[in-house]
Structure 1
Amino acid sequence: MSARIVTLPNLLTVLRMMLIPVFVSLLFYKMYAWALFVFIIAGTTDGLDGLFARRFDQRSSLGTILDPIADKLLLVTSFVVLSMPNIYPQPLPRHLPIPFWTTALVISRDVFILVGAAAIHLVTGFRRFRPSWPGKLNTTIQILSIIYILSAAHLTTLTGYLPGVYSLVGASAFFSGIHYIFFASRLLAEERREFDV
């Protein structure tokens, strides 16, 4: 893994973080089409940074730290802001804003994993955490859900499916959070076996 800081994947990750305040500002000004456009760009960089890191062998220690931070900042900020009634057109479209329980599940999952990983590191010294496939799927579901919610705020004919979207986000957050307990335990067991050998 490279120690380089300035790589294309890292630049894309930084761009994703820089787009967050732009996205939020556009929402508060009720410029939903532009907010959707900016979010799609930010969400696309999430896939591209990993792709370029693998394709051009530009994995870096900084990237492994920045990438998940950028993901969480983008998605948690999006869910929190889209849970506020005042950013939507009035009268409120049907099934908007995002229900509190959906945003609470999204945040709780991330806090749960962060606290769990920190506890494991403090007790065992283990630090080789990496994303699980349900975690990657959860991120994809959340990105697509935000895109749909923004589209529904702009085109209210789409709001009828929002309860299903919220249920999918909640189920994905819950399942991927529980799965990560077992995934992290397996990673820890594998490292101990390598150490014993």
Structure 2
Amino acid sequence: MTLPNLITLGRLLLVPVVIAMIGQGAWGLAFAGFALAGLSDALDGFLARRLGAQSEIGAILDPLADKALLVSVLVMLAAEGAVPAWLAVVVVARDLVMVGAILAMRLLGRRVAIRPLLIGKLNTAAQIAFAGGVLGLRALGLAPQPAEGWAAVAVAVLAVSSAAAYGVHGLRGTRDEDPG
């Protein structure tokens, strides 16, 4: 197990802590845990490249940890009424549709090359900024801002757009698997 992979596992372990802090209304601790998770994401990526410690397990764990944190935080924020429930539904549905599409393609004997697209990166960045902003405002004891509604719409539009882009990209980039 490489150091970057251990850091990623630590980020995964932070997910239930951050969720519990949101549930308890401990916004400062939730924000701190979310920020720590973000820093650990940057650190594990830097170390993996710097130390030449990239691994197959890391390539799976890192995006899994990111998704686990983002989806869990957005769902919990929705459950607490801090963000619109429809936003959590859009984000979760996007991820479920994408995973389902990949599984379906695999079952049909198609190999799907999964490469990050710019819109996917923008989608992730928007979700991180939005969730971090919501947590940060509450940690500071500030009331929800009018811009949060527009930001939620922007996050939803990016989620849907990125799902569509990956769908088009996936359909173009599939090929029959070599059975032998």
TM-score by length of 1: 0.81
Q: How many angstroms apart in 2 are the aligned matches of 1:54 and 1:184?
A: 27
Alignment partner of 1:164 is 2:159? no
1:98 corresponds to: 83
Unmatched 5+ residue regions in structure 2? Answer: none
Q: Write out per-residue CA displacement over residues 72-101 of structure 1, whole angstroms, 9 at most, x where no aligned residue.
A: 11111101110123xxxxxxxxxx521111
Matches within 5 A, 1:15-30: 15-30=10-25
Deviation for aligned residue 1:125: 4.3
- Does the aligned pair in 2 maintain the 1:10–1:63 contact within 8 Å? yes
Matched, 1:185 2:160: no
Deviation, structure 1 residue 55 = 2.9
Q: How far 1:130 moved relative to its partner?
A: 2.8
What whole-Å deviation, never above 9, does each CA across 1:160-193 have from its counterpart, x for those lacking one?
A: 211011011101101111110122234336x98x
**Which letter does structure 2 place at the counterpart of 1:26?**
M
Deviations 1:124-158 (A, max 9, x none): 24154232222122111111111101122233255
Structure 1 CA distance for aligned equivalents of residues 112 and 168 of structure 2: 16
The offset of 1:44, in angstroms, is 2.3
Query: Aligned residue for 1:69?
Result: 64
Q: Does 1:44 align with 2:29?
A: no
Residue in 1 aligned with 2:28? 33
| Cα separation, partners in 2 of 1:157 and 1:100, compared to 1, 3 Å | closer
Distance in 2 between residues matched to 1:157 and 1:97, nearest whole Å: 10
Q: Is structure 2 residue 135 aligned with structure 1 residue 150? A: yes
Q: Is the 8 A contact 1:36 1:151 kept in 2?
A: yes
Equivalent pairs: percent with the same residue? 32
Alignment match, 1:131: 116
Letter in 2 for 1:138: N
Residues 1:181 and 1:57: Cα distance change in structure 2 (over 3 Å): same
Cα 1:82–1:158 shift into 2, 3 Å: closer
- State the SS of the aligned residue for 1:147: helix
Structure 1 gap ranges (5+):
1-5, 86-95
Q: Could you tell which deviates more after superposition, 64-73 or 40-49?
A: 40-49
Is contact 1:17–1:74 with CA below 8 Å preserved after alignment? yes
Cα deviation per residue 1:3-26 (whole Å; 9 max; x = unaligned)? xxx112211211110001111122
Q: Is the Cα contact below 8 Å between 1:9 and 1:58 reproduced in 2?
A: yes
Letter in 1 for 2:56: S
The question of whether the paired residues in 2 share the 8 Å contact of 1:151 and 1:158 is answered with: no
